Amino acid sequence: MRLIIYTGKGGTGKTVSACSTALKLSGLKSRTLLVSADPAHTLGDALIKDRIVGTPTKISADLDAAQVDPIAEMDTNFKTIFSYFASYFQAKGVDDTISYELAMLPGMTQLLCLLKIEEAARSGVYDAIILDMPASGEALRFLYFPKLVGSLSMRLSGLAGLVSGFGRLFQPYFSSPAHSSDLMKIEADLLHKLEELSKLIFDQKVTSLRLVANADSFSMENAKRTLMSANLYGINVDMIIINKIMPITRSENSFLANWTHLQQTKVIEARSNFYPLPVKEVPLYNEELKGIEMLKQNAEILFGDEDPGQILYHEKVFEFKSDNSGLTLKLKVPFTKNVDFLVERASDRITIKVATDIGHIVNVIPLPAITLGMKLKAAQLSDKNLVISFEY
């Protein structure tokens, strides 16, 4: 079973990329489930289908889609837990719309969505699950959540402390935290599910994270930071998509000419900055990308003859090693010994400026927080690996 997760900055094209992947995979006879953690009904909008709900809805022979609705999910699958919470609130005179309020807490949709994925993976019904995650930073935190809970679970007691920390939020209401055996069973079950999920997410043969950006510096920086964090966490990133690239025009119009020039510069930068990850370039179409036919055509541009279910890359682009004296960052770079390059440090990032035959290419590399108290010591290039060391 494969779990393929799309994330990236807002509006870059995560949902359409996830849909295209799912459509192509199901066309190759892989039994595929497409899941969205977006509370807005975007899967329905992209596929032009009404009523995609929490329970997998059939889209075609080998494709199901599910859109996690936190409120419905709470009501159907987590009733026991929430009636437990509700009883405290009612005792304090809070009305019974509590499950609605809880469903609206930040992160709840993502958490419920992850649980849905665990359920789908366990069912054995699918060969591939494609997950459309929210914007990058958030997404990684949620992917890491099951592991965090797994490692802390032994030291924590009570479900309240586990889920998004909202137990602490409601502490004033819990005059006597009663633990019925029922609730303990649910808690153990939830922990077990999160543990299973964590095994899936960190298994590089199962899970691939794919990052979607546009040809602009904001979304590309965002993707780079996510790549760095994912490499730190140990989640495999196997592909970058640069979406909505404007076609090169010979227009006299300086507005268009400026934009195409800027975007082309960014595309060239992306090829070098994300090296050696496969970078897929997708044009901006002359209309909004939606509907099954158009999304299938988009899948051909993205994957051509490739199977989207493959693991497209499986090494770390960033490797960190720390010891007593500091930290070493090993980075794969697309240039060899003879090229002039310059490494500079600016607080939480380093820039690498490389002279190439198409002019200078600048690669800005986000650094993990731990390097903030360290000095840049040396940068050495050996066989397409740039080794940068930091010391305390």
Ligand X SMILES: Nc1ncnc2c1ncn2[C@@H]1O[C@H](COP(=O)(O)OP(=O)(O)OP(=O)(O)O)[C@@H](O)[C@H]1O
Q: Which is nearer to ligand X, 11 or 276 (CB)?
A: 11
* C-beta nearest to Mg ion: residue: 15
Segment near ligand X (CB under 6 A); pick from 6-14, 59-67, 73-81, 171-179: 6-14
Nearest C-alpha neighbor of 331 from the set 276, 271, 270: 276
Nearest distance from C-beta of residue 36 to ligand X, angstroms: 9
Our CB check for Mg ion shows the closer of 18 and 331 to be 18
Point out the residue whose Cβ comes nearest to ligand X: 15
Task: State the binding partner of 282 from Mg ion, ligand X, none, CB within 5 to 8 A by kind.
Answer: ligand X
Q: Determine if 12 is a binding residue for ligand X (CB under 6 A).
A: yes
* Interacting partner of 2 out of Mg ion, ligand X, none (Cβ under 5 to 8 A depending on kind): none
Binding site for Mg ion (CB under 5 A): 14-15, 38, 42
Residue 39 found at the interface with ligand X (CB under 6 A): no
Helix (H/G/I), strand (E/B), else coil: 229: helix
The least CB distance from residue 243 to ligand X, in Å, is 5
Q: Closer to ligand X by CB, 21 or 207: give it.
A: 21
Does 276 sit near ligand X (CB under 6 A)? no
Nearer to ligand X, 170 or 259 (CB): 259
Q: Catalogue the E-assigned strands of 246-340.
A: 279-283, 318-323, 326-332
Q: Which strand (E) or helix (H) includes residue 345? A: strand 341-346
Cβ closest to ligand X, residue 17 vs residue 208: 17
* DSSP state string for 250-263: --S-HHHHHHHHHH
Does the footprint of ligand X cover residue 11 (CB under 6 A)? yes
Task: Output the CA–CA distances (angstroms, integers) from residue 375 to 107, 158, 165, 319, 343, in the order listed.
Answer: 36, 43, 35, 18, 13
Binds 153: which of ligand X, Mg ion, none (CB < 5-8 Å by kind) = none
Does 209 contact ligand X by CB under 6 A?
no
User: Using CB under 6 A, which residues numbered 287 to 316 contact ligand X?
Assistant: 288-290
Between residues 14 and 224, which has the closer beta carbon with respect to Mg ion?
Answer: 14
Instruction: Check residue 231 for interaction with ligand X (CB under 6 A).
Output: no
Asked if 193 interacts with ligand X (CB under 6 A), we say no
Which entry of ligand X, Mg ion, none binds 285, CB below 5 to 8 A by partner kind? ligand X
User: DSSP for 90-102?
Assistant: HHTT--TTHHHHH
Q: CA geometry: angle at 318 spanning 313 and 319, to 5°?
A: 110
Pick 46 or 81: Cβ nearer ligand X: 46
> Interface residues for ligand X in 238-267 (CB under 6 A)?
243-244
* Alpha-carbon distances of 331 from 92, 227, 274, rounded to whole Å: 56, 12, 10
State the nearest-atom distance from the C-beta of 113 to Mg ion, in Å.
13
Task: Return d(Cα 272, Cα 260) in angstroms, integer.
Answer: 19
Question: What span, in angstroms and rounded, lies between the C-alpha atoms of 190 and 185?
Answer: 9
With tokens 């970078």, the residue in question is 279
- Helix-strand-coil split of the chain, %, nearest 5: 45, 25, 30
| Residue 50 DSSP SS3 | coil
Work out what residue 284 binds among Mg ion, ligand X, none; the CB cut-off runs from 5 to 8 Å by kind.
ligand X
Residue 260 C-beta: closest distance to ligand X, Å:
15
Rg (CA), the chain: 23
Q: Are 157 and 206 in contact (CB under 8 A)?
A: no
Q: Is 16 in the site for ligand X (CB under 6 A)?
A: yes
C-alpha torsion sign, points 100, 102, 103, 106: positive
Q: Which of 267, 147, 140, 142 is nearest to 211 (CA)?
A: 140
Closer to ligand X at the Cβ: 12 or 57?
12
What is the footprint of ligand X within residues 83-142 (CB under 6 A)?
135
Nearest distance, CB of residue 304 and ligand X, angstroms: 16
Sign for the CA dihedral angle at 285, 286, 290, 291 comes to negative
CB of 230 to ligand X, least distance (A): 17
* 42 or 263: CB nearest ligand X: 42
C-alpha triplet 136, 159, 230: angle, nearest 5°: 20
Chain contacts with ligand X (rule: CB under 6 A): 8, 10-16, 38, 42, 135, 243-244, 282, 284-285, 288-290
